[in-house]
Amino acid sequence: MSLSATTQYDFGDVPIDAVDGGTSILVSGPRDGGLEELFHSLLAAAEDDEGVVAITSDDGSRSFERAHRSAAGLGRGGDIGVVDCSGDSGIGTDDDAAVADPSDLTAVNMQFSALCDELRYDGTEHLRTGLLSVSPLCAACEDMRDVYRFVQNITSRTRRNDGLFVCAIDPEADTGQFGDGQNIAAGLEKAFAGHVELRREGGRTEIRTDGLDAGADEWQRVTL
Amino acid sequence: MSGMRVLCADPDGSAGPATALDGIGIPTVESETVDGAKAQLDETDVDCLVTEYEFPDGSGLELVDHVRETAPDTPCIVFTETPPTEIDTARFEGLIVEYMRKGMPDAGDRLGATVQDLIQYSGQVGYLLPDNEQERLAALERYDLDGMDVGEWADRISTLVSNHFDVPVAFVGLVDEEEENFLGCHGVDWDSLNREDTICTHTVLEEETMVVEDITDDHRFQNNDTLLSLGIRSYAGANMDDSTGHTIGSLCLIDYEPREYTDEELADLQLFADEAVEQLELRREILAAREESQ
């Protein structure tokens, strides 16, 4: 599908309709049930003029990029810029940056912003951005208001630049002092235009969307 | 955007962001030092801060920190050629700013567009916004009329509600763009609080009444120094939706101890909130009709 005057982001084999530029999506589900694979599938560039920048707080940038190439499939998902705040110091490529501690949202955000701008100045018109995942940031921060401001700033920039932002959360993951990840996911959902839920049911991986596809709120099987 | 004012802090004034913003019609105030900019922030209401990183007397992040302390919803942009890797964030880990490179060919135009967008869409607030925030604020603005003095009425209904539920504090709060304004209270004498500090900021996102049985067990509020310093421990709030369906604020109960509420009590609280917003709307309509007839 070619991009028309209105920027759209296509998700390949994932059964979710293409979304307009400026859309931010929350993806929630179990880490061991395909969350990472779904995240990378949504983030993978579908067109030559798309670029990808991501923040990884779960894994180091090398394994993040391996997972991205694997999930994105042949011909999709070229070089991506990564801000690594996982604490794993192995930096993958020149497009990557490291922040020692996920609690340093100031540095994570500025590095992320700078990488996005570099791609834009290099001629990338359409940018897919992502965060895998928000749980370690919650666990590391003292105040949820910092996390809200961090997310709002990225969703705001995404809308301003006609981009796509995909944010992953495992509601069962450790969020430190903040306890129940289910409540955090339910709250954060309100910062996003759409929500994709993932589950494993009877050996099948299924997704359900809210706010994205009209009438597509039923569980659908997905192959990741 | 009318009425907008941007504080531009840059040690090299003539080459700084103010020149670029003035060139596209965005009003600015300027400072070439951190201390001078802090004084400007204390003396003047500004809608956005654009700052260099390095100053002879400090760091631009000190200014951002000052803004977050005094006017937390104000968007901040670090506009610099210093790479993020060379910016010392050790003392400023929770500060969220937009980072933009100063030396790029179209940097001035992009800065102007970013400033306008961040202000218009509240792009750096520390809370979540309702989907219909712009329309909600427009609905709320309809109640900002000369002579719309509802203090006594709002205190009275707060007292009735406080007695009914046997709680020490009740209030009627309107959730405005950056603050919650308390129309009337019982048990306290609050005027306004920053929106990011209030529980009602979260209540207006909900369709049902909101209960926080113990704020020290709730991830949204457990480190909120403002709430803790006020001694607040539990909360129940019912939204006040006007006849156009927009939530303008909440009618709320506060206790200084953890507390639970039954479904029947919450249903009553919602009835009180419906009654309050109807009163408010009737008063607004009568006042508007009087003004029109004069």
Question: In angstroms, how far is the first alpha carbon of chain B from the final one?
Answer: 32
Backbone angles phi and psi of B78, in degrees to 5: -90, 115
Pairing relationship of beta strands B234-241 and B247-255 according to DSSP bridges: antiparallel
For residue A65, pLDDT over 90 is answered with: no
Task: Please state, in angstroms and rounded to a whole number, the distance separating the CA atoms of residues B266 and B71.
Answer: 34
Percent of chain B with pLDDT over 70: 98
- Encode pLDDT of A170-183 as tens digits: 999 888 777 778 88
Q: How many helices (H) and strands (E) does chain A have?
A: 6, 11
For residue A76, pLDDT over 90 is answered with: no
Across residues B83-91, what is the average pLDDT?
93
Minimal C-alpha gap between B61 and chain A (Å)? 9
For residue A113, pLDDT over 60 is answered with: yes
A207 vs A49, which has greater pLDDT?
A207
> Of B145, B61, B132, B55, nearest to B95 (Cα)?
B61
Across residues A41-70, what is the average pLDDT?
88
Minimal C-alpha gap between B270 and chain A (Å)? 22
- Per CB-CB distance under 8 Å, the chain B contacts of A187 are 128, 202, 219-220
Q: What's this model's pTM, rounded to 2 decimal places?
A: 0.91
Interface with A, mutate which of B64, B99, B136, B207 (most A CBs under 10 A): B99
CB–CB contact A113 B104 (8 Å): no
Say what the alpha-carbon torsion angle B163, B169, B172, B177 is, to the nearest 10 degrees.
-170
Task: Please state, in angstroms and rounded to a whole number, the distance separating the CA atoms of residues A153 and A156.
Answer: 5
For residue A28, pLDDT over 90 is answered with: yes
CB–CB contact B128 A191 (8 Å): yes
**A3 pLDDT tier (thresholds 50, 70, 90):** very low
Q: Where are the alpha helices (DSSP H) in chain A?
A: 35-43, 61-72, 105-121, 135-140, 144-160, 181-188
Query: For residue A2, what pLDDT is reported?
Result: 41
Across residues B101-113, what is the average pLDDT?
90
Across residues B256-281, what is the average pLDDT?
97
Handedness of CA B38, B39, B42, B48 (dihedral sign): negative
Among partner residues A106, A142, A160, which is closest to B96 by beta-carbon distance? A106
In the block, which residue shows the tokens 């049902």?
B208
